[in-house]
Structure 1
Amino acid sequence: MKKIVIETVNGIKIRESNCPVGARVAIVSYSSDTHYLVRFSEFRSKSRLLQEVNALSYQRSPSRRDLGGSMRFVARNVFKRTLQGDNVRKVAVFFSNGQSVNPVSINTAVIEFSALNIVPAVIAFDNILDINQSFAMDDSGQYQVIAFPSKGDYTTFLHKLQLCTLCYDKCKPDVACARRTQPQEAYVDAVFILDSSQKIDPREFEKMKDFLSSSLDHFDVSSEPATSSVGDRIALVSHAPPAFQPHLQNSPVKVEFDLITYREKEVMKKHIQESVQQLGGVVAVGHAIQWTINNIFSEVPSPRKHKMITVISAGETSPWDKELLKKISLRAKCQGYVLLVLSLGPTYNHTELEDLASLPLEQHLIQLGRIHQPELKYAQMFLKAFLHLLRTDKTNDYPPVELRAKCTKIMHQRTRYASRSLSLV
């Protein structure tokens, strides 16, 4: 590993001044935890950097390997204060010599890398199946898993790392770096529930509309949503109308368009920009989800493999809605719905969000402290990577294993209640 790092550093130009030209290098070691060995800011001389790498000594850890955890540490900490710009590329190269203790965390890390525009590569000496499955969600063609020989010449493998990751030319990519194409394995019925309540600042509401419009680009919209089983279908509902009262049995949402209304993204975008208006009612997320399941999903023909509800929320739901929200979100998960939650702004109830989102939370809950363009761009790229994972990953189950005992209990209770009602009739 040291030899590969040394040869890699030798092959690139190192940034040696305040002029933003050349690469900065950081090095970490990991097992179940990740530790800095070299920080970006420590060396502005290639010779001194190489001396430091040569001086690194092997320290064996009794902990098990957590590649995904290390990837997330690098994304959230090592790259936290890097320069931004079109000419700045963020690349992370990891070594692995066996199975990770938590393969699901690799999926989460790949989603976060995609959202942060970090390009990963893994040099694997053994057991690359989990990593290959996780990298399958990438559609850029730059994510690499390189199986290195434990003995013998590795020059050819190192050349591919340099050519297709470290020095990748996105304008004129080498033929050896051809993009992988993944077949579309599963389509999605997706409903966005937009917080249109009085809690939202009107300027922030317009930004949320822009986010929705941009998010549509990540779907393969069906050209015949009412009759064909091919393609994604998208619906949008806003909550909550100012006249909504739960005891009046009126609708807690305004349907902007349902799953079979539109067949073109551009028409959906036009509707969002020109027709979606802030409603200004009180928040009722639980009632909105319940109504959506009962009225948007229940009657639609040719249901897709995945039923996905994306809740865009800017704060806690109303006190009188909390109990229903907890019950209906659990019931939805037990029925196989995917609940993705985008929480915007500084005001939120963390327990409520955790109860609402599907598991694992790291893949289904996005919390943004501000409603600014960089944060919304992160959320948009997160959604893109999540959709690729949803379509290609065969390990994420809905409902997940952790909920199956609860789900069985709920279904048993509903069956007993239905039988009792029938007897009374």
Structure 2
Amino acid sequence: METKFRSCWDGKPKCPLYPTELVFALDISRTLTPETFELMRKIIIEIVSEARIRESNCPVGARVAVVSYNSVTHHLIHFSELQNKNKLLHTLKNISYQRSSSERDTGGAMRFITRNVFKRTLQGPNVRKIAVVFSHGPATDASSVKQAVLEMSAAKVTPVVIALGNTPHISQAFLMDDSGLFEVLNVRDGQYNEALQRFRLCTLCYDICKPDAFCERPRRSLPRTYVDAAFILDSSQEMSGAEFEQVKDFMSKAITAFNISSDPKTSVVGDRIAVVSHALPGFKAGTGKRPVKKEFDFVTYSSKDRIRRHIEESLQQLNGEAAVGYAMQWTISNIFSAAPNPRPLKVIIIISAGKTSQWDKGMLKKISMQAKCQGYALFAISLGKSYDRNELEELASTPLEQHLVQLGRIHKPELDYVMRFLKPFIRFLRSEKNNYPPEELRAKCISLFLHS
């Protein structure tokens, strides 16, 4: 192992310092001019010319891929195609300008890069994934950009948008990333030297151990909008004991997304957390039994450490039949409605290990719609291969891509992905006016309340 490491590393610091997967996305939407295209290509060539490009299987330097996008995204150069710097530069110089009549979906391009281009890339704790996205105008869909930020944050992709025009949706969405690495670099009148310098120092050549003072920038403080968040945990026999322990570990980490109130009973300041487990043995609809085990409510704990201690030491698997709908109904009636000083934002985070019981499906459909209409944000995490897609779509708030995360297995890397998705999701909640229920649901909600 030591000999192999030495053969790959010659002792000279070069840029990038870490193994890097570097993607460029060219904006070829309707308003593209030959001059703008030439500027984008010039910037890419300059970045590649001065970077260390990986030319062997040794994991040093950068591999490069290139896509173009308008309303759809297309591969131009794959990572595996060109492992020679001269050939790569020659190919870049020969990418030709093409006219387009399609609009610009910057968020869609960013999501394509995250889901497809970075799907099969070098893995490892020190590998960096960087997406350089050119944009010469506003993104057409703010929701698509928001979704891209959630997915890139979760997948540990660092996006840098080189803006050749105004990009308000992107600048606003990037403020929700808590790493401080997402950045919009403005290029005006073809003057890109300052933007390029910042990209090199603060992204491509960035050394987390020795950060350059030039890269420090003020972080916008979030609005003081506080959250009441209830975790509803599937504690059924669908999970093995080892899987249940991993989910407990995830929940302990998830607490870091919140600013826990030091006085949850009497103060209106700070977030509050509650946890209930469902799948109690012997519970069935109509038996009169409580459908959940209340672990703790909003006023029980006043610190993250106490919440973590309860999750780690007292939370036990119940091994009964799943009853998500009845658990939600009980939580709304007994946790949210009973708490003093309710917070402006109400979030229910449902952790599901499979389908709910057949006798619970009707209640789940009814209560999830009622909760949405009452202004709750429903965030669903689906674990494992056993699930009902229609059930999940009924359960989660819309847009689904921002409120539903499906994992094929219960495994630490996947749960870490959810953790990195959840943090900016909560930041988005704080920063926006309350969009729950969403506009498209409001007519249905009025009808629901008139007939209830």
**What TM bracket, shorter-length normalisation?**
over 0.9
- Measure how far apart 1:289 and its partner are: 0.3
Residues 89-100 of structure 1 mapped to structure 2, 5 A cutoff: 89-100=128-139
1:211-247 CA distance string (max 9 Å, x none): 1111112211111111111111000000021121221
Decide whether the 8 Å contact of 2:177 with 2:424 is kept in 1. Answer: yes
Q: 2:435 aligns with which of 397, 400, 416?
A: 397
Q: Are residue 118 (structure 1) and residue 157 (structure 2) matched?
A: yes
Residues 58-137 of structure 1 mapped to structure 2, 5 A cutoff: 58-137=97-176
Q: Are residue 5 (structure 1) and residue 44 (structure 2) matched?
A: yes
Q: TM-score, normalised by structure 2?
A: 0.89
Q: Are residue 184 (structure 1) and residue 222 (structure 2) matched?
A: yes
Give secondary structure in 1 for the equivalent of 2:322: coil
Distance (whole Å) between structure 1 residues aligned to residue 189 and residue 219 of structure 2: 29
Opposite residue 213 of structure 1, the aligned amino acid is S
Decide whether the 8 Å contact of 1:163 with 1:174 is kept in 2. Answer: yes
- Measure how far apart 1:179 and its partner are: 4.5
Give secondary structure in 2 for the equivalent of 1:255: strand
- Measure how far apart 1:323 and its partner are: 1.2
Q: Match for residue 202 of structure 2?
A: 164
Decide whether the 8 Å contact of 2:222 with 2:427 is kept in 1. Answer: no
Gap regions ≥5 residues in structure 2: 1-39
Q: Match for residue 423 of structure 1?
A: none
Opposite residue 320 of structure 1, the aligned amino acid is W
1:17-54 CA distance string (max 9 Å, x none): 11111000100000111101111111111111110000
Q: 1:233 to 1:343 in 2, by over 3 A?
A: same
Decide whether the 8 Å contact of 1:225 with 1:260 is kept in 2. Answer: yes
Decide whether the 8 Å contact of 1:136 with 1:392 is kept in 2. Answer: no
Q: Are residue 384 (structure 1) and residue 401 (structure 2) matched?
A: no
- Measure how far apart 1:372 and its partner are: 0.8
Q: Which deviates the most, 58-67 or 14-23?
A: 58-67
- Measure how far apart 1:351 and its partner are: 0.7
- Measure how far apart 1:176 and its partner are: 2.4
Q: Percent identity?
A: 57
Distance (whole Å) between structure 1 residues aligned to residue 438 and residue 241 of structure 2: 38
Q: Match for residue 30 of structure 1?
A: 69
- Measure how far apart 1:411 and its partner are: 1.7
Q: Match for residue 256 of structure 2?
A: 217
1:92-130 CA distance string (max 9 Å, x none): 010111122221011001011110111001011122111
Give secondary structure in 1 for the equivalent of 2:127: coil
Opposite residue 287 of structure 1, the aligned amino acid is Y
Decide whether the 8 Å contact of 1:143 with 1:165 is kept in 2. Answer: no
- Measure how far apart 1:181 and its partner are: 2.3
Residues 25-424 of structure 1 mapped to structure 2, 5 A cutoff: 25-151=64-190, 153-185=191-223, 186-394=225-433, 397-414=435-452
1:347-374 CA distance string (max 9 Å, x none): 1000110110001100100000010111
Decide whether the 8 Å contact of 1:16 with 1:45 is kept in 2. Answer: yes
Decide whether the 8 Å contact of 1:93 with 1:120 is kept in 2. Answer: yes
Distance (whole Å) between structure 1 residues aligned to residue 445 and residue 203 of structure 2: 44
Give secondary structure in 2 for the equivalent of 1:268: helix
Q: Match for residue 58 of structure 2?
A: 19
Decide whether the 8 Å contact of 2:139 with 2:167 is kept in 1. Answer: no
Distance (whole Å) between structure 2 residues aligned to residue 141 and residue 203 of structure 1: 35
Distance (whole Å) between structure 1 residues aligned to residue 373 and residue 210 of structure 2: 48
Opposite residue 197 of structure 2, the aligned amino acid is H
Moved >6 Å (runs of 4+): none
Distance (whole Å) between structure 1 residues aligned to residue 451 and residue 346 of structure 2: 24
Q: Which deviates the most, 188-197 or 210-219?
A: 210-219
Decide whether the 8 Å contact of 1:124 with 1:148 is kept in 2. Answer: yes
Distance (whole Å) between structure 2 residues aligned to residue 249 and residue 180 of structure 1: 55
Opposite residue 165 of structure 1, the aligned amino acid is T
Decide whether the 8 Å contact of 1:142 with 1:177 is kept in 2. Answer: no
Give secondary structure in 1 for the equivalent of 2:64: coil
Gap regions ≥5 residues in structure 1: 415-425
Give secondary structure in 2 for the equivalent of 1:342: strand
Distance (whole Å) between structure 1 residues aligned to residue 409 and residue 244 of structure 2: 12
Decide whether the 8 Å contact of 1:221 with 1:264 is kept in 2. Answer: yes
Decide whether the 8 Å contact of 2:153 with 2:421 is kept in 1. Answer: yes
- Measure how far apart 1:303 and its partner are: 1.1
Opposite residue 155 of structure 1, the aligned amino acid is N
Decide whether the 8 Å contact of 1:211 with 1:376 is kept in 2. Answer: yes
